[in-house]
Chains A and B, each alone.
Chain A
Amino acid sequence: MKLAYYPGCTVRDKAVHLDETTKASARELGIDLQELENWTCCGATYPLTEEKIANLVPQIRILRNVREGGNSQVTTTCAFCYSTLKRANRAIAVDDLRRQRVNAFLRDDDPVRPYKEQTQAPADYEGEVAVLHLLEVFRDGFGWDRLAKATKKPLNGLKVAPYYGCKLLRPPKEVAFDDPENPTIFEQFLAALGCEVIDFPFKSECCGSYLALSAPESASRLSHLILTSAVKSGAEVLALSCPLCYYNMDLRQRDISKSYPGFQHVPVMFFTQLLALALGLDEKVLGLDLHYVDVRPLLRQKNLLQ
């Protein structure tokens, strides 16, 4: 199974454990992830005003490169990249004016070949590529049964709360990832790995996102709410997909402890780290030393780690 892979900027620096475990797990499962050539930042947020047409260019340039590389699908693990690529793709497909304006901009944009050569610009991009989150690849392509069978070290007895956050689910009509009020894809994934799945009421609440920069105390309040809700529901570890949620849930616990006396640290893991663990991959791949809240004592206690 060959699949184009868009890593995204954060997974190459602040969330290398998300990238490394994705690639190692895919290799183990026989999924041939092919990283795009010359990929750039996706723009992180989808532009919300009609005037910001230039902010649609990076996503469409990336998707056009996917198509030019002979692929009809591209996968990513970062919730921000997934959301912005998918929404831009849809905007181009349904909105004639935006399609024309963005393509006009991109006609002169060909960073691969030197400009002295007479080049033929790629054909206009019209939204042909399908943007998939890695969880969707497992659900719709690979299959939960096959994933469960490939699991060498099932994570039996590990109580994991899936945290979706905002970008994967909303706006539902544009992202169309899962039911926005009662999503189940993450639960199915964790169940396939053998985890005990813990449902909790704040699984699709916002973590505070980029308010981490402008209103960090609000981000602490929201992260505290989500983490304590998961623990009260019986979770031992929180699983997530977005590197920004990860920052707000993991490293932010340093600030939460200051603002909320008595708060007990809760380990947080990327869903691909749990996958790599269940596939029996080497501990070195997991990047467990990169967490602020150490998850290793819990995993050792559960006999999931040496």
Chain B
Amino acid sequence: MAQVTADVEAVRGRLMPERAGQHGKVLLAGKVVNSEFAERVRSLSGVDPRECYQCGKCSSGCPMTPEMDLIPSQVIRLLQLGQEQDVLGCKTIWLCASCFQCYSRCPKGIDFSRLAEALRMLAMAGKVEYLAPEDVPEEVLTEVPQQALVSAFRKYGL
């Protein structure tokens, strides 16, 4: 339990450095909830994150959680709370491989891959692409299947 508490504290510290050490306190106010952002993600993705009741099935089935800084259910919770910077700045949205394990098990029919795709689009909008062909070593570019190139640059390019 102490480890879990420490892990939660570490994540909280990364997300909200100004509130580090205040484990257990939930500070919410109307002015910090960006509903407009949550609505933009909803209309882009066609998925309503407010449906989520945090059962955690998505995160328990997700094959990529070991590399994620926020697990999928945490991203959805932060989306509900309109925490734009947290969800656009996390690694999670770039690590979703769209395998749809979460979606096929979600009791509320939420497709996290769609949310991640909308968040990637918003994170890249007007900025640079996440992955450019020159970022990939040439030997990898020549050996990977064509479908991987098309998919990766569709997901991570502008």
Point out residues on A near B: beta carbons under 8 Å.
8-10, 13-15, 41, 43-45, 48-51, 55, 78, 80-81, 166, 169-172, 180, 205-206, 208-216, 218, 221-222, 243-244, 246-247, 251
Contact = CB atoms under 8 A, between A and B. Distances in A.
Interface string B93-121: 01101111101100000010110011001
Contact of B150 (A45, A205, A211, A214): A45
Contacts of A247: 143-145, 148
Contacts of A78: 147
Given A44-B151, A49-B121, A215 B104 contact: no
Contact of B95 (A41, A51, A215, A244): A215
B46 A49 contact: yes
Interface stretch (B2-10, B23-31, B61-69): B61-69
A249 B14 CA distance: 35
Binding site secondary structure of chain A: loop
Given A45-B151, A171-B111, A213-B131, A208 B97 contact: yes
Contact of B63 (A51, A81, A180, A205): A205
- Listed residue (A209, A216, A222) with the most chain B CB atoms within 10 angstroms of its CB: A209
Interface residues of B, number: 40
B98 A209 contact: yes
A223 to B, nearest CB: 11
B121 A55 contact: no
B98 A218 contact: no
B129 to A, nearest CB: 11
A88 B117 CA distance: 17
Contact of B146 (A9, A170, A171, A222): A9
Contacts of A246: 145
Contact of A49 (B64, B118, B144): B118
A170 B104 contact: yes
Given A213-B140, A214-B94, 11 more contacts: A44-B147, A45-B150, A45-B155, A48-B117, A49-B121, A209-B98, A212-B140, A244-B147, A244-B148, A247-B148, A251-B143
Interface in B1-56: 43-46
A218 B97 CA distance: 10
Interface of B: 43-46, 63-64, 66-67, 94-95, 97-101, 103-104, 111, 113-114, 117-118, 121, 130-131, 136, 140, 143-152, 154-156
Nearest to B43: A50
A243 B145 contact: yes
Contact of B156 (A8, A13, A171, A214): A214
A213 B142 CA distance: 11
What are the nearest 6 A-B pairs in CB distance?
Answer: A206-B99, A170-B100, A166-B99, A44-B150, A48-B117, A210-B151
Nearest to A44: B150
A43 B46 CA distance: 21
A255 B150 CA distance: 23
A41 B145 CA distance: 13
A44 B43 CA distance: 24
Given A49-B114, A49-B121, A218-B64, A80 B95 contact: no
Which of A8, A14, A246 has the most B CB atoms < 10 Å from its CB? A14
A209 to B, nearest CB: 4
A211 B154 CA distance: 12
